[in-house]
Structure 1
Amino acid sequence: MKEAVVEARGLRKDFGPVKAVRDVSLAVDPAEIVAVVGESGSGKTTLGRIIVGLMRPSEGSVTVSDRPQMIFQDVFGSLNPAHDIGHHLRRAVIRSGRRVPDVDREVVTLLERVGLGERFVRRRPHELSGGERQRVGTARALASAPRLIVADEPVSMLDMSVRVEILNLMARLRDDEGVALLYITHDLVSARYLADRVVVMFAGYAVESAPAEELLDDPRHPYTRLLLASVPGSSLDPAPAAGTVQAGEAGCPFAARCPVAVAECGRTMPPVAPLATEPSPGRWLRCHVEGAPR
């Protein structure tokens, strides 16, 4: 049995009255890509920041095999325009604490690993395209030789052709170097293209998880079906009937929007229910109506 590179248990994060993350547990295995998907405000970015240690959870625990690194959506905002790319990467290598015989050579190696090269050492952030800056962000994350990288919407600001290049780069890091990734996105198409497994979040809860193709071919949670219905070309109903159940504080937060909700959905949040009859192990969801195995 593989030892997970990160395991989160019962995470909760409150910002005053706002419950950003609620009772989330997940694990990522070595060389696995797990996509966390959901609409804006679902809690997926907060979850990623907790995983890498940028935030402390209000409750729960995170166990990591080493210090994970993060790739941000806006890499340009995290690069000092007064310094060249070599400076940023040298700083990342030195701060990592790794013993390398030649820091400058290591910087070039990092650039080569992400498909750039030595000619970018003296470039400044404003001289790079969006895709090149995202590659630099990836190189900086690799400077500490992490086993896990958390990538927060890394392609949402890029053109479609460049998105595919960055997704392929992440896949190569998994396949060739054994790096695990937690890929945070609202884009189900890219999640299907890249991820081994998908976790769906809504209103702070993780509501469904399964191998990527299995989940996206046969979504079981009503919210997952709603997300997939919004994808161009989907055969699912893009506008399911609104629910009639009023969700209480302890109920499922999707109940008021859910077309299949029953009274119990407004009263209690369903527990995580494994779907033992599914073709792949480890599939589960939180739903009073759809949780029973078929």
Structure 2
Amino acid sequence: MASVFPTSLLTDLHDGSVAHEDSIKNLEVLGISLDKTCPTVATVSWLVCLETRSLHMLYYSSVATATRKRASSTQPRSREARVFVVLEDIMQNITPPPFFLALPGEPPIPWQKWKKVFLNYMHVCGSNLSSERKTSVLQHCLGAEGLEILETLPAITTSDGAEGDNSLNEFESTLLRLDKHFLPKVSIILQRYYFGKRKQTDDESIEDFVTALRKLASSCNFGENLEERIRDQFMLECKCDKVREALWAKNDPSLDEVLIIAKQVEHSMACIENLRKSRNVAMDVQALDTKTSNKFQANIRTRLM
């Protein structure tokens, strides 16, 4: 469902001129329709979350304006006051995430993904909300069935890795209770086994391989050793022998250093390969020219005889 924003989003604060049509097209591409009944008075940098239903968090940062002129206001407001009003108007157009569990059954969106969408929505709403207010928003977004499940969950205790409810506010405690219930129970040993078996495939780039390792490592509970474990697995299972030789020549490099060295070696090898191919082409052309020349000279001698 497209978000609706006022046309004043496209107007500059300083001179009141309307922005270029390219800006309008950019907004329309993002699914933002324009409400041409709203004039302008302020400019802000806004952040909008779109496409929550497909879980693709699309953020579009832009210098834009959005507010209404107050007919009853006789004196000009300060820039800070106008920006505050702008943010209020923008907030009215931000759509909350879909209900996590409106009906009995399995959640249509896994809890971990839905939680990311919800926390991003809360971030856009602002960090100045009280814990009680955040909890109320969370309970509303859970849906009827999700709220009923929440009411049956036990309170947080010291066995949950926190000092009971005393170390957590109401919002954090509620999220932790939901985490315990909805997050799948995984075997750390099994996840570490999968991590240790991961190798770089022939058509996989360095960036893609490291990203895959990070994703696997997120379930392995490596703690402070996370970067070292990813580094070690990369050095052991990267597909190129020359890259591996260059990495093993270094004494305890960091993960960032390993990636820099690997990319440098890979780039050098690609340049050498391109140079080799160019030389082979040049040699083939030279051989063809020599063959053609010899044949031409042989034909000339035959005719002279």
- TM class by shorter chain equals under 0.3
Larger RCO, structures 1/2 (Cα 8 Å, 6+ apart): 1
Q: TM-score, normalised by structure 1?
A: 0.24
Indicate the structure with greater helix content: 2
Indicate the structure with greater strand content: 1
